[in-house]
Amino acid sequence: MKFREIVESPCGIRYLFDELELQSGYARKVLLDREMMTDPVRIDEAYASLRGYYGMVLEDRRRVEDMRFRLQGLRDISGTLASLAEGSVLDEIEFFEIKHMAMLAETLPVGSDMENVIGILDPDGLKIGTFYLYDSYSPELRRLRSETDDNPDDAGLQDELANEEERIKKLLSDKLRPYAVSLQKTLRELADLDISLAQAVQMHVEGLVIPSSGKEAAITGMFHPGVRAVLKAKGREFQPVDFAFRSGVPATVIGANMGGKTVALKTLCMIQYLYQFGFALPVGSAVMTPFDEIRFCIGDEQSEKTGLSSFAAEMQRIDSAIAAVEQGGRVLVLVDEPARTTNPVEGTALVAALLERLADRHNLALIMTTHYTVEHAGECWRVSGLLPGTKGRKMDYRLVRTTSHEVPHEALNIARELGIDSRWIELADTIIKRKYE
């Protein structure tokens, strides 16, 4: 799974990607092409490196900004380097690109052999990042140039000059070829540096935290950066939420409408992706564990607009998640209110059956939000809900473990808080009392 494939995920990871201040288009491309990590050792290595850059952001911001400014000069010259490796004769533009990158790497803590490369492309030792076929490459070149200057219309001289220039281009290409591999490595390192510095700065700006890896996931104080930004613009605060989950024990999340169940699920999904791509997390603290696959099943606006097909799209998403579990890899499945668009009788049955279908799978961590009351052997979390006695839309969004799987009946209270037509709501209240009490 590449970063490119999850950047538009409905979990909203796009927000952090957009806010990530990469200095070069090439680093952006490299990041989008990165593969998701599934080995905790590799993830921890990536975090160790990020921790180092974060320290630099805190202690020496000027150096960081200086490095980032330089990285604006990073260009994607992978095509040029591939031609070099293949044995092509390069032209001036390509020599310029290589020299430019080598000189950039020289000023940054990356790259090897760049001194030799620069030596080839800077014969006069000028130490400036520009390039042309310098006269000093051959006395013949110097002579021919000076002669064509005096006789600009001599076609024979023009040809001789062109041949000599061609000879020098070939010579330079041959001299550079042994460095093709280290040039490619350096290019990659420059992009990685750009990404790491951007991540470290983002960690500082957004208040993100590096997690540790463990057997079970335990998260405190998680928040959704995108939603937090929207709330902040309205002068409101995001209430951080705690959560824990582990493979083999399905978890359901129940609670009032507008209680933040879906946002919590999106946040969990985003955090898992961020962890496996080596980003710091929007949490107070976290222990995380990697999965081979992450499946997020949520109705998106597109399918909701197409009416009938939303149910079909949802069922297919869950179906494919079940198939992934059957494959045997470690899978995290996050499902937002399955079967919510159908009638409560069949809906409840589908949800209960899904939990049973996926029970006792030790390779599966399942987290599901629902409005239906279903009994299961796993864990149940409940949104704290409307604070008792408070007025003016005061919701406690925290998730608490509960033993009762009975979904809370708070929809009417919330509708009252919203100021919805009171005769309608009170009638609903009467109907409920008549039926259940």
Partner 1 sequence: MPFVGEILRHRSVSIVGLAKNAGKTECLNYIIRRLPVDYFNVAVTSIGIDGETTDQVTGTAKPEITVREGMFFATSEKHFRQKRPLSELYDVSEEDTALGRTVTAKALQEGKVLLSGPSSASALKRWMSSLKVFGIDLILIDGALSRLSTASPAVSEAMVLSTGAAYSANIRELVSRTAFVVELIRLPVYAGPEPSLRVSSFSSLDAGVLKGHRVIEVEGALTDRLLQMAKNGLGDGELELVVGDFTKIFCSQELYRAFLRRGGLISVRMKSELIAVCVNPVAPNGIVLDSDILCSELSQKIGLPVYDIVKNEYEV
Please, which residue, 28 or 371, has the CB nearer to partner 1? Answer: 28
Please, which residue, 145 or 188, has the CB nearer to partner 1? Answer: 145
**What beta strand segments (E) does 289-408 contain?**
293-297, 331-336, 364-369, 379-386, 395-402
Least Å from the CB of residue 126 to partner 1: 10
Least Å from the CB of residue 33 to partner 1: 17
Q: Which residue(s) pair with 418 in the sheet?
A: none
Least Å from the CB of residue 107 to partner 1: 14
Least Å from the CB of residue 241 to partner 1: 41
* Interaction residues for partner 1, span 336-355 (CB under 8 A): none
Please, which residue, 31 or 364, has the CB nearer to partner 1? Answer: 31
Least Å from the CB of residue 105 to partner 1: 17
Burial readout 154-177 (b: 16 or more C-beta within 10 A, e: otherwise)? eeebeebbeebbeebbeebbeebb
Least Å from the CB of residue 127 to partner 1: 14
Cβ(37)–Cβ(277) below 8 Å: yes
For residues 209, 215, 218, 222, the Cα torsion angle rounded to the nearest 10 degrees is: 40
The Cα 128–Cα 135 span in angstroms is 16
Cβ(212)–Cβ(289) below 8 Å: no
Q: Of residues 17, 96, 238, 279, which one binds partner 1 by CB under 8 A?
A: 96
One-letter amino acid for residue 427 of the chain: L
The DSSP secondary structure of 336-364, one letter per residue, reads ESTTTTS-HHHHHHHHHHHHHHTTT-TTE
The Cα 265–Cα 369 span in angstroms is 8
Residues 147-186, one symbol each (x = binds partner 1 by CB under 8 A, - = not), give --x-------------------------------------
Cβ(11)–Cβ(296) below 8 Å: yes
Cβ(251)–Cβ(381) below 8 Å: yes
Please, which residue, 99 or 382, has the CB nearer to partner 1? Answer: 99
The Cα 97–Cα 129 span in angstroms is 9
Please, which residue, 142 or 405, has the CB nearer to partner 1? Answer: 142
Give the angle 320-325-329 at the CA atoms, nearest 5°: 125
Residues 113-132, one symbol each (x = binds partner 1 by CB under 8 A, - = not), give -----------------xxx
Please, which residue, 105 or 399, has the CB nearer to partner 1? Answer: 105
Least Å from the CB of residue 145 to partner 1: 7
**What beta strand segments (E) does 192-283 contain?**
212-213, 217-222, 241-245, 251-254
Tokens of residue 41, six digits: 């050792």
One-letter amino acid for residue 433 of the chain: K
Cβ(131)–Cβ(96) below 8 Å: yes
Q: Of residues 70, 97, 336, 355, which one binds partner 1 by CB under 8 A?
A: 97
Q: How many residues bind partner 1 (CB under 8 A)?
A: 15
Choose one: 94-102, 246-254, 338-346, 397-405; the region binding partner 1 (CB under 8 A): 94-102
Please, which residue, 191 or 324, has the CB nearer to partner 1? Answer: 191
Least Å from the CB of residue 92 to partner 1: 6
Residues 6-35, one symbol each (x = binds partner 1 by CB under 8 A, - = not), give ------------------xx----------
188 binds partner 1 (CB under 8 A): no
In three-state secondary structure terms, 125 is coil
Please, which residue, 144 or 219, has the CB nearer to partner 1? Answer: 144
Please, which residue, 96 or 243, has the CB nearer to partner 1? Answer: 96
Least Å from the CB of residue 192 to partner 1: 18
Please, which residue, 96 or 372, has the CB nearer to partner 1? Answer: 96
Please, which residue, 100 or 228, has the CB nearer to partner 1? Answer: 100
Least Å from the CB of residue 151 to partner 1: 14
Least Å from the CB of residue 61 to partner 1: 22
* Interaction residues for partner 1, span 34-93 (CB under 8 A): 75-76, 91-93
Taking the CB of residue 339, how many other CB atoms lie within 10 A of it? 23
Cβ(190)–Cβ(200) below 8 Å: no
Nearest to 222 by CA among 234, 236, 233, 206: 206
Under the rule (CB under 8 A), what is the footprint of partner 1? Answer: 24-25, 75-76, 91-93, 96-97, 100, 130-132, 145, 149
